[in-house]
Amino acid sequence: MGKKTPNPTPDDATWFDHQQLLFWLQACLRDAEVYLSSSRASKTAFDKMFSGGFKAMAQYKDEHQEHSDQQRLDAYHFIVVTGKLLRLLKRAQHLFPAIQPP
């Protein structure tokens, strides 16, 4: 077993650490809003597709598929950005005491 690296302290915080934290927080919030918006659009297209029998289903099938594909892509982006933010927060909680968990 190797030596365990000590956790950083607030004295180790740099301007870049602060900027990275702000960037990934903003990216996470933005991607969450984008995902929620595409989810609403997908639901709306789904509702239209199933609102009027086979005619509506045929008419709105492609629209629903397009929105559904976009929703999956937006979900992927949100999950990736959230994962990056969580990894960053593991280090940042030691650099910035105000964000330490209770």
CB neighbour class for 17 (10 Å; exposed up to 12, middle 13-18, buried from 19)? middle
Identify the domain containing residue 90 by its residue range.
22-95
Residue 101 within a domain:
no
Q: Dump pLDDT digits (tens) for 19-65.
A: 999 999 999 999 999 999 999 999 999 999 888 888 888 999 999 99
Considering the domain boundaries, does residue 70 fall inside one?
Answer: yes
pTM of the shown model: 0.81
Structural domain contains residue 68: yes
Band (2; pLDDT cuts 50, 70, 90)? low
